[in-house]
Structure 1
Amino acid sequence: MQRKASETIVGNGKNMVEGFSTGMMGDIEKSIMKKAELFDSSIGRYMMRAMLACFYLTLGTGIAVGLADFTEQLAPGWGKIGYSFMFTWSLVMIIYLNAELGTSNMMYMTTAVHRKILPWKKALAILGTCILFNAVGAVVISWVLSYTGVFHQVSTDHFLVTAVAGKLAKAPLQIFVEGIFANMIVNIAFYVTMRMKDDAGKVLAIVFLIFIFAFLGFEHVIANFSSFSLAFFASGGHVPGMTVGAVVTNIVLATLGNYVGGGLVMGLNYSWLNNGKTSYVD
């Protein structure tokens, strides 16, 4: 018999959970309460975990575009494969080092509201803070990386610059739709790792799943924080098509698409699927 994490009581300033659902949804509910507890007890630590997510993501982006640029010079057309493979390790670092990623929190916080674990204002505050400090982390680490030898004054034909220019040239509808698929894939990776016990299996699952969205070039707003910032600082601001309007359009539409994919299709949908009275639960 499932027990709902929404059956909560308040004591000593902390939310104490009386009972959790079983299986994957139980793990999600526990994670939600852990995030809320950290947010309430030490918002500074929560902000740092959000910044760390983009520290790891930007490092992953850096090695991915570096390998892609090198591979393109040796074998034109193969750079994208190298990029996609190395980029996947960003999520491995984020998951194993317990960093706070805005796009996965779209799933967590939507589930929290649907299952009445958190009020919507609290869930929105956690999600908004996470996304904001993901962006701060991306800007800071990208600026620092731009002073390293590899990313000091990269040329306009570097894989990083051309990839970002391509993102900024996409049509609005394409950005939105690709945002949906990008965050579906990211949250599928989170769901799959919850169901697995072996670390090697978890890492392989993350690598193969994230490879899909990286290779297909889908739009992930947090990843774009990293790639846009790194391209701007590394090129000295010389990214074709990088205007305030183009960047804002991409960020807004990617965020909306990511929320539909991660928050609604994966978060709300699976919360509803596992809220019935049957034994068919995840």
Structure 2
Amino acid sequence: MNDTNIKWDKIFYGRAWIANIIDIIQTKDILQSFYFKRYLLRAMMAGFIISIITVFVLMVKTTFSLDWGPGLVNMIGAITFSFALVLILFTNSELLTSNFMYFTVGLYYKLIKPYRVLNIFMLCFIGNIIGACVLFGLMRLSDVLTPDMVTMLDQTIETKIHTYTFQNILVRAIFANFFINITLVIAMQIDDVVAKMFVMMFGVTIFAFMGYEHVVYNSCLFVAGLFYEVDHLALWPALKNIVASFIGNYIGGGLIIGLFYAYLNDHGQFKTHRNK
């Protein structure tokens, strides 16, 4: 059977989806190449947003923990945390874990060199961390984080760096970024803003409720732990968590989602991009 007669755009996402990804990749690459400070600021905003939503989640959980059961409190916290992705995407901020998907597609179609992708990943991650430092530096000058919130922060950090093994973190991180990026893939097909927001929120709610590992969120927690000098924060266990969650997030978002959909949508229709 001649596959040229198959309308691939009707079966997979097709030319429009890949064109959208290509546009995103090229915009991000130009930003970090020629507008370094602006790109860094966009990455800082993403870290700032995740951090301030983290504070919000701590507030929600400590407020309702005495009245409601832990399961319901965790679900409310997960829904609350899902606001972060909506804010990040609609403010055009730069989050490392969504870039895993975009730039793996770019690597597959040979639109960007690997060293440039690595440079973007590192710059984005550094910007995310700086944003968290700015947020928690400001918070430290106030009494927004109550003693109960700091205690919950310490308990969360203890679980992530002392209870979980490297392998456990790695697998949890794969699922975390799988849900984030499958959400993005679906949201890219939707024009209605409310529907797009809903899709973004349910993917993040799943990963947050299940306790999966997200490298940027975890790093923001560790930054908070530094500023508030929590008891269970330790350098090497925290680095173990960051390395394992970084690798796992790339597998879940970059390979399982990005590479998978890049291959499904590749039927020779983008050879002109590859030859450039």
Give the TM-score normalised by structure 2: 0.87
Closer/same/farther in 2, CA of residues 213 and 176 from structure 1, 3 Å limit: same
Q: Which position in structure 1 is the counterpart of 2:31? A: 38
Instruction: Report the Cα offset of residue 156 of structure 1.
Output: 7.9
Query: 2:176·2:213 contact (CA, 8 Å) conserved in 1?
Result: yes
Pair 1:127-2:121 in alignment: yes
The code of the aligned residue for 1:71 comes to F
Task: Give the residue type in structure 1 aligned to 2:62.
Answer: D
Stretches of 4+ aligned residues off by more than 4 angstroms: none
Partner of residue 68, structure 1: 61
1:229 aligns with 2:223: yes
Q: Is the 8 A contact 1:109 1:124 kept in 2?
A: no
Mapped partners of 1:54, 1:122: distance in 2: 21
Are 2:51 and 1:29 aligned? Answer: no
Quote the residue 2:204 is aligned against: 210
Amino acid at match of 1:28: I
Residues 157 and 135 of structure 1, relative CA distance in 2, 3 Å threshold: closer
Q: How does 1:230-245 map to 2 (within 5 A)?
A: 230-233=224-227, 236-240=228-232, 242-245=233-236
Give secondary structure in 1 for the equivalent of 2:123. Answer: helix
Separation (CA, whole Å) in 2 of partners of 1:23 and 1:104 = 19
Say whether the 8 Å CA contact 1:103–1:262 is kept in structure 2. Answer: yes
- Whole-angstrom distance in 2 between the partners of 1:155 and 1:75: 16
1:30-73 deviation line (CA, Å, top 9, x unaligned): 10011111112211100110010011111111111110111112
Asked if structure 2 preserves the Cα contact closer than 8 Å seen for 1:180 and 1:259, the reply is yes
Matched letter for residue 51 of structure 1: M
Instruction: Provide Cα deviations, 1:55-100, integer angstroms capped at 9, x if missing partner.
Output: 1111111111110111112224132122111100000000000000
Paired residue secondary structure (2:188)? helix
Query: Identity percentage over the alignment?
Result: 29
Mark the CA change 1:156 to 1:30 in structure 2 (over 3 Å): closer, same or farther: closer
Residue of 42, 46, 50 corresponding to 2:43: 50
CA distance in 1, matches of 2:183, 2:225: 27
Matched, 1:113 2:107: yes
8 Å Cα contact 1:69/1:158 also seen in 2? no
Match of 2:266 in 1: 275
Q: Which runs of 5+ in 2 are unaligned?
A: 5-13, 270-276
Unaligned runs of 5+ in 1: 2-20
Q: Tell me the distance in 1 between the aligned counterparts of 2:122 and 2:133.
A: 17
User: Which one-letter code corresponds to 1:66 in the other structure?
Assistant: M
How far the C-alpha of 1:106 sits from its partner, in A, is: 1.0
Matches within 5 A, 1:154-233: 154-155=147-148, 158-168=151-161, 169-233=163-227
In 2, Cα distance between equivalents of 1:157 and 1:142 = 12
Structure 1 position 148, deviation (Å):
2.5
How far apart are the structure 2 equivalents of 1:231 and 1:87? 18
Question: 1 or 2, which has the higher helix percentage?
Answer: 2
CA distance in 2, matches of 1:208, 1:135: 25
User: What is the CA–CA distance in structure 2 between the aligned matches of 1:141 and 1:248, rounded to whole Å?
Assistant: 21
CA distance in 2, matches of 1:200, 1:155: 35
> Which has the higher relative contact order, 1 or 2, with Cα contacts under 8 A spaced 6 or more apart?
2
Q: Which residue of 1 aligns with 2:272?
A: none
2-structure distance, mates of 1:110, 1:189: 16
What is the TM-score with the length of structure 1 in the denominator? 0.86
Compared with structure 1, are the counterparts of its residues 148 and 156 closer, same or farther at alpha carbon in structure 2 (3 Å cutoff)? closer
CA apart distance, 1:155: 4.4
Distance of 1:148 and 1:189 partners within structure 2 = 35
